[in-house]
Chains A and B, each alone.
Chain A
C-alpha cells in the first residue's frame, strides 16, 4: 500500500461520525463526558498510538455489546456491523503501514535464557551455567522476548564480557592428551559427611540427625559404638559391598551427607550409579516411640524417592535428577552434566526435615519409621565424544593446525553469527587480536580477547531483523529461537525456508528434537509464570504439610511442562488448556490431588476419573501456587490471572487508590464475605463481575493446589492431630467453609470448578485464540495489534480441522505472515 492511499484509508469515514453522534455523543460528547471520553473531539489520526488505542477500545466495547449500555435502546444490528467494519478498516490499514515501515517487532538482543543456550550450542558445552551471570531481563506483554523491554546497560555489557570469557575458558583444554574415562567408586562409609554423623557430639544428640551403619538389612551396634572398625575395607569386597550408611531424615542442615570424596575432575558428561536401599528403623524405647532406635533396623516397607543434586561448597546446588530407591538394594543410573569440582548430594525427599524445637518425625509409626541406606556411588566419566572437544577445535582448529588468527577468527565468526559475515566484521575483531598480540599477550589469550569481542557484539547478541519479509538467515533464527530457544543448527541454516513445505518439515524436526524442551520451559516460565514457582513459600504455621517439601514443589514445577509437551507431541486440542481427561503426576502429586497414587517419583500420564476437578492448567499445583502467596489465596488475583493467561481476556488494571483486600487468616470472615462488601459498589462490581468468577471456583484449592472444603486458620481453634514436614505439631485449624460457586459475566452460574470448566469449554475457539496470541508474542517478540487480528483468525481457521491441535497451531503460526515478516 502506498503512503498516500494508506493516509487516506487511515481516516474516519463520515458515516462513523454519524453513528457516534447518534448513539454515543449523549454521554461521550462535549461538556462532562462519561469516563472522561469525548468521542466528538477524538481525532481520527490512527498513526498516533494513543488515539489508536482509544479507538480500539471503542471498537471492542461496541463489538462486545458493552456499549452503548444496556439501558439505552440498542442500535440496529446492521448499523453496528457497518460501524465496526468501517472503523476497523482504517485502523488495520494504519497498523499495516506501520508494520511495512518498521515491522511489528523491535530490534532486540537475546534474553539470558537465549544467550546461555546460544553459547552452549556454539561451544558444544551443554553444561555451561551462564543465565544467572546476567541481569534479569525486562518483560513486556508478559514475555522476555520483546525488544522494547530488553535493555542494555553497562552492567549488562560487563556481564556479557565476563560470561563470554568464562564460557571460552571453560571449553579450552589445557593439553592435547585425552583424559582417561574412568569409573570410580566411593563408598558411603569412606565419606566423612556420612561416617562422622554416626557419632553424637555436643551439638547433636538426636538420632534423627545422625547416620547409622548397616550390613545388609541388619544394624551394626558395634560400629556405632566405635567398638568395631568403620569398614572392613578393600580386604573383604563381598562384605564391604553390603555395608551401608542410613538416615531417617532428608538432607537438610545439619544432616547433609554427600559423596564428596569424589569430585568431577573436569566439566562434562558423567554416568552416575548409586547403590542404595530402603530400611525400616525400630521405634525408640520408652515414651518417645517416634524417636528411632538406630540399632534396630530391618528391610524397608516401601520405596523412597531420592533427588540427586550436584554441589560446590557452600551450597551451590543444582538438581540433577531423581529416582526411586527400593527395599532391595538396586543400582540407579543417571547420565548428567557436571561442572569441575562438583560433588554429589542425595536427598531422600519424602523423609522429614528436623527443625527445632522437639521435632517429631511425621512418618514415624508406633513400630518404627522409614529410612534410606546408601552403599556406594560410582561415577563413570568424563564421557568424551571427541578429543580435543568440539569447543576447543572451534577456537583453535584441529590439533597441529596453523596458528592463523585471521582464519580461525573467520571460521569462528561464521559459526557464531547467524547471518553471513561481512568483511568489516573480520577486520574489526582481528584488530582486537592484533592489539593483544602487540601487547605481548599469548596467542591463546589474544584469541580469547578477539572471540570475547565477537560474543559481545550485536551480530551475536542481537536478532537482526529488517522490515518486510525475513531473509532466510533471519527466518531460521526466528524459528530456532521460537522452538529451541537457541540458535539454528547447520541443517536449519542450510534449509530453503522460502518453501512452505521445507518450513513445515523444519517445524516438525525442531519440535521432535530434545532441544524443543527449552521452548516449552521458557514459554511456560513466562506464560504461566512457572519461573516464579519458588517465589513464595508455603507458610510454616498454616501449611506445615507443604513447608520445606522440595519434592512437592519440584514435581509441581515439572507437571505443566510435561503436560504441555504431551499436547505438542500428540497434537492434542487446545481445549486441554482448560480441561483434560488426564494429568501428568507422580506419587506426591497424585497424593496431593487425591488421586490413586502408585509409588514412584517419575511423572506419568494418569487418566482421570469422571467428574474429577483436575485436568487442564488451572487446577495444576504449580499454577495454583504461583497465583497464591504461600499464606493465602485471593479470588481477585487468581481470577485476573486466569482471565488473562488462560482465557485471553485480560481485565483492566486495578484503580490506583483502592487497597487490595487482605484475606483474614484468623478465620473470622471468608475472603468472599470481605469481597462482597466491595463488589456491591456499582463502580467496582462491573469489573469484578468479569475478574472474580474463575477465582471463586479456584477457592476450592489452597496455596499449593490441595483440595479444601474449609479455609485453614491460626489462633483460637483445635488443630487436627499431626506433624509437619519439619516435625512440628500442627497449629492450624479448619475454619470457614469454602464457597466455590459463581456466575460468569454472560450469565451462567456454576457450583464449582468442574462446572466452570464445562462452561468455558463451550467457547473452544477462544481458548485456542488465546494460545495462538500467547505463542505469537513469544515467537515474534511483538504484541498482537489491532491489525494482526484478522491473521490470528486465519491461523485459527487453518487449525480448526485438527480440533485446534497444539502442534498444528504452532505450525500454522510459523507459516503465517506474522511470523515470516519482521
Chain B
C-alpha cells in the first residue's frame, strides 16, 4: 500500500488531508470497525487507578480489579494528556477534539474524533454517528463537535435512542429526509455537469485539477445516494426489549449501563459505527451505587480534600464504573459477528479530561483503551512530568478504522507502544 509519508515527500508540497480521501474508500471491503468513546468528566482517583508497574505483567490496581477477567483485552495509559487543554471543567468538551485552552478568550472548539470519522465512513451505516449522554447539563456539554465548533447535543433518553435505532420514523420525517438527500444529489449532478463541460477547455495540468473536482462531486453524490437508500431499508429488528427511562439523575449508574447496552446493539445491528458517551458526573447528585451509601453530590465528593469518608465513597463509585465496563466487555465479547467478537471490532475508549478532579488538573489523564483489533493487555506508562500526547491514540484509532490519516489535532504521530493485531 502507498505509504502516505513517502507519497507526500514525492509531491514536494504540503498537502492537506482531503487529497487522501480517494484512498480511504478503497478499503470499505474490510470488516466494519467501530469506536465507542466514553468520557467521565470527573475522572478516577489517580492513586487507586494507575497501576504501579509498566508493561504486560503489571499488577491490577484496586480500581481495575473488577476488570480482571478482561485484562488481556484492554490497555491502561498513564502519563498522557491533551497538549494545552487546561482550564478545569470546560476541558471535558475537548476530550475528543483536543482544542487547546477551552477557558481562554476567543476559544472555539474544533471537530471531534467521531465527527471527523463520520465525515469519512458515516455513509456506510444508517446513522453516521450517535452522540449519547448521561445527566448532561443542558446544552453545555457533549463529546461531539462540528468543525465550526458547534455542539451536537447528546441524546439522554435511552427510550429515544431505542426508537431512533429500531422504530420507523413518521412518514413526514422519512419524506423530508428523502427530499433533502435527493435535492443534494440533484445539486451535485448539476455541478458535475459544469465541471465536465470545462474539462475540454483546459490544459493537462488544469484538467487534472478539474478531474479531482469531478470525482469529489461524484463521490459525494454516491454517498448521498447510499444515505438515501437507507430510507428504503426497514430498520433492523430490535435484539433487546425497549428500555425504560430512569426517572432520577441519582440513577446515573443505571443510565450509564443502559447507554452501554444501546451502544452495543447499535453496533450489533450495524446501525452506526461511531458512538460517543459523555458521563456528566459534574452535574450528578448523590448517586446510587450498589453496596455503598453515597452521601454527597458527585462533584462535591470529587473535591474530597483527602477526607477518608469521601475518598471511600469515590472509590466505590470508581469501582462501579469498572464493573460496568467489565459487563460491557463481556457482552461485546458475547456478540459474534462473522466469526469475530464485537469487542475485536470495537475500540472502546474510556477516560477523562481530569487527571485529578480534586485539584482540577488536566494532565496525567486516566485512560483505558480496549478491544478494536489492537494488541491489548499492557500498561503503557509515559513520562508523568512531560506527558505524552493522547491525540496520538486518536490517530491510531482513525487508522484502525481504515482511514489514511497521519495527524489529528495536536498529535505528533501514532500511539507509541500500541500495535494492531
Is B336 positioned at the interface, with any CB of A under 8 Å from its CB? Answer: no
For the A-B complex, the count of residue pairs with Cβ-Cβ distances under 8 Å equals: 213
List of 8 A-B pairs having minimum Cβ-Cβ separation, nearest first? A107-B206, A153-B18, A154-B219, A138-B16, A153-B21, A140-B13, A151-B19, A152-B216
11 additional contacts (CB under 8 A) given A133-B148, A441-B179, A534-B100:
A107-B210, A133-B146, A137-B16, A138-B15, A140-B13, A203-B303, A254-B88, A254-B89, A349-B105, A432-B187, A458-B195
Is A386 positioned at the interface, with any CB of B under 8 Å from its CB? Answer: no
Is A457 positioned at the interface, with any CB of B under 8 Å from its CB? Answer: yes
**A window 114-169: CB within 8 A of B:** 129, 132-141, 146-159, 161
Give the distance in Å from the alpha carbon of A315 to the alpha carbon of B89 in the complex. Answer: 12
Q: Is the CB of A536 within 8 A of B14?
A: no
* Interface 9-mer from A5-13, A306-314, A494-502: A306-314
Give the distance in Å from the alpha carbon of A316 to the alpha carbon of B107 in the complex. Answer: 6
Give the distance in Å from the alpha carbon of A316 to the alpha carbon of B110 in the complex. Answer: 10
Give the distance in Å from the alpha carbon of A150 to the alpha carbon of B206 in the complex. Answer: 12
Using CB atoms, name the residue of chain A closest to B179.
A439
Give the distance in Å from the alpha carbon of A428 to the alpha carbon of B186 in the complex. Answer: 10
Is B418 positioned at the interface, with any CB of A under 8 Å from its CB? Answer: no
Is B101 positioned at the interface, with any CB of A under 8 Å from its CB? Answer: yes
Q: Is the CB of B13 within 8 A of A149?
A: yes
B90: which A residues are within 8 A, CB to CB? 253, 314-315
**A window 384-408: CB within 8 A of B:** none
Residues of B whose CB lies within 8 Å of any CB of A are 13-22, 84, 86-90, 93, 100-109, 119-120, 139-141, 146-151, 179, 182-184, 186-191, 193-195, 197-198, 201-206, 209-210, 212-213, 216-217, 219-220, 223, 299-300, 303, 359-360
Give the distance in Å from the alpha carbon of A425 to the alpha carbon of B198 in the complex. Answer: 12
Question: How many A residues are at the interface, by size bracket?
Answer: 35 or more
Closest Cβ–Cβ distance, residue A772 to chain B (whole Å) = 22
Closest Cβ–Cβ distance, residue A433 to chain B (whole Å) = 10
Q: Is the CB of B104 within 8 A of A550?
A: yes
- Mask, A463-486, CB within 8 Å of B = 1, is 010110000000000000000000
Using CB atoms, name the residue of chain B closest to A133.
B148
Is A429 positioned at the interface, with any CB of B under 8 Å from its CB? Answer: yes
Q: Is the CB of A135 within 8 A of B147?
A: yes
Interface centre among A153, A154, A441 (most CB of B within 10 A): A154
Partner of A132, one of B149, B151, B187: B149
Using CB atoms, name the residue of chain B closest to A345.
B105
Q: Is the CB of A316 within 8 A of B187?
A: no
A151-B359 contact, Cβ under 8 Å, with A253-B89, A432-B190, A537-B101: no
Q: Is the CB of B210 within 8 A of A315?
A: no
Q: Is the CB of B147 within 8 A of A151?
A: no
Give the distance in Å from the alpha carbon of A155 to the alpha carbon of B128 in the complex. Answer: 14
Partner of B198, one of A141, A251, A307, A458: A458
Is A669 positioned at the interface, with any CB of B under 8 Å from its CB? Answer: no
Q: Is the CB of B217 within 8 A of A157?
A: yes
Closest Cβ–Cβ distance, residue B114 to chain A (whole Å) = 15
Using CB atoms, name the residue of chain A closest to B84.
A537
A148: which B residues are within 8 A, CB to CB? 13, 209
A452: which B residues are within 8 A, CB to CB? 187
Closest Cβ–Cβ distance, residue B391 to chain A (whole Å) = 14
Interface centre among A141, A252, A453 (most CB of B within 10 A): A453
A147: which B residues are within 8 A, CB to CB? 206, 209
A93: which B residues are within 8 A, CB to CB? none
Q: Is the CB of A149 within 8 A of B190?
A: no
Partner of A151, one of B15, B106, B220: B15
Q: Is the CB of A152 within 8 A of B106?
A: no
Partner of B216, one of A103, A157, A313, A435: A157
Give the distance in Å from the alpha carbon of A357 to the alpha carbon of B356 in the complex. Answer: 12
A436: which B residues are within 8 A, CB to CB? 183, 186
Give the distance in Å from the alpha carbon of A161 to the alpha carbon of B187 in the complex. Answer: 9
Q: List 12 A-B contacts (CB under 8 A).
A: A107-B205, A108-B209, A152-B213, A154-B21, A316-B109, A318-B108, A432-B189, A456-B188, A458-B194, A458-B213, A466-B201, A548-B104
Q: Is the CB of B194 within 8 A of A425?
A: yes
Partner of A449, one of B151, B183, B204, B212: B183
Q: Is the CB of B106 within 8 A of A554?
A: yes
Is A317 positioned at the interface, with any CB of B under 8 Å from its CB? Answer: yes
Give the distance in Å from the alpha carbon of A550 to the alpha carbon of B151 in the complex. Answer: 24
Interface centre among A353, A431, A449 (most CB of B within 10 A): A449
Give the distance in Å from the alpha carbon of A309 to the alpha carbon of B109 in the complex. Answer: 15
Give the distance in Å from the alpha carbon of A151 to the alpha carbon of B214 in the complex. Answer: 11
Using CB atoms, name the residue of chain B closest to A462.
B213
Q: Is the CB of B107 within 8 A of A317?
A: yes
Give the distance in Å from the alpha carbon of A481 to the alpha carbon of B419 in the complex. Answer: 47
B139: which A residues are within 8 A, CB to CB? 313-314
Is A41 positioned at the interface, with any CB of B under 8 Å from its CB? Answer: no
Q: Is the CB of A151 within 8 A of B18?
A: yes
Is A319 positioned at the interface, with any CB of B under 8 Å from its CB? Answer: yes
B16: which A residues are within 8 A, CB to CB? 135-139, 149, 151
Is A291 positioned at the interface, with any CB of B under 8 Å from its CB? Answer: no
Give the distance in Å from the alpha carbon of A277 to the alpha carbon of B122 in the complex. Answer: 52
Is A801 positioned at the interface, with any CB of B under 8 Å from its CB? Answer: no
B108: which A residues are within 8 A, CB to CB? 132, 315-318
Residues of A whose CB lies within 8 Å of any CB of B are 101-103, 106-109, 129, 132-141, 146-159, 161, 202-203, 251-254, 307, 309, 313-319, 347, 349, 353, 355-357, 424-425, 428-429, 431-432, 435-436, 439, 441, 449, 452-453, 456-459, 462, 464, 466-467, 534, 536-537, 540, 548, 550, 554
Give the distance in Å from the alpha carbon of A441 to the alpha carbon of B176 in the complex. Answer: 10
B202: which A residues are within 8 A, CB to CB? 107, 466
Partner of A456, one of B109, B120, B187, B359: B187
A135-B18 contact, Cβ under 8 Å, with A315-B90, A548-B104: yes
B220: which A residues are within 8 A, CB to CB? 154, 157-158, 161
A316: which B residues are within 8 A, CB to CB? 108-109, 149-150
Partner of A252, one of B87, B182, B299: B87
A202: which B residues are within 8 A, CB to CB? 300
Give the distance in Å from the alpha carbon of A307 to the alpha carbon of B107 in the complex. Answer: 13
Q: Is the CB of A138 within 8 A of B21?
A: no
Q: Is the CB of B93 within 8 A of A152?
A: no
A107-B209 contact, Cβ under 8 Å, with A135-B17, A357-B359, A449-B187: yes
Q: Is the CB of B147 within 8 A of A133?
A: yes
Q: Is the CB of A106 within 8 A of B300?
A: no
Partner of A149, one of B14, B187, B191: B14
Using CB atoms, name the residue of chain A closest to B119.
A155
B360: which A residues are within 8 A, CB to CB? 355-356
A457-B140 contact, Cβ under 8 Å, with A101-B203, A149-B13, A157-B220: no
Closest Cβ–Cβ distance, residue A623 to chain B (whole Å) = 20
A138-B19 contact, Cβ under 8 Å, with A457-B191, A458-B210: yes
Q: Is the CB of B190 within 8 A of A151?
A: no
A536: which B residues are within 8 A, CB to CB? 84
A467: which B residues are within 8 A, CB to CB? 203
Using CB atoms, name the residue of chain A closest to B89.
A253
A158-B213 contact, Cβ under 8 Å, with A317-B105, A449-B187, A458-B194: no
A453-B187 contact, Cβ under 8 Å, with A313-B139, A347-B105, A439-B182: yes
Closest Cβ–Cβ distance, residue B200 to chain A (whole Å) = 13
Closest Cβ–Cβ distance, residue A270 to chain B (whole Å) = 19
Closest Cβ–Cβ distance, residue B103 to chain A (whole Å) = 4
A252: which B residues are within 8 A, CB to CB? 87, 103-104
Give the distance in Å from the alpha carbon of A140 to the alpha carbon of B11 in the complex. Answer: 10
Give the distance in Å from the alpha carbon of A363 to the alpha carbon of B149 in the complex. Answer: 34
A453-B147 contact, Cβ under 8 Å, with A203-B299, A317-B106, A317-B108: no
Closest Cβ–Cβ distance, residue A607 to chain B (whole Å) = 31
Using CB atoms, name the residue of chain A closest to B122.
A158
B194: which A residues are within 8 A, CB to CB? 425, 428, 457-459
Q: Is the CB of B299 within 8 A of A151?
A: no
Closest Cβ–Cβ distance, residue A115 to chain B (whole Å) = 13
Q: Is the CB of A102 within 8 A of B206?
A: yes
Give the distance in Å from the alpha carbon of A810 to the alpha carbon of B209 in the complex. Answer: 29
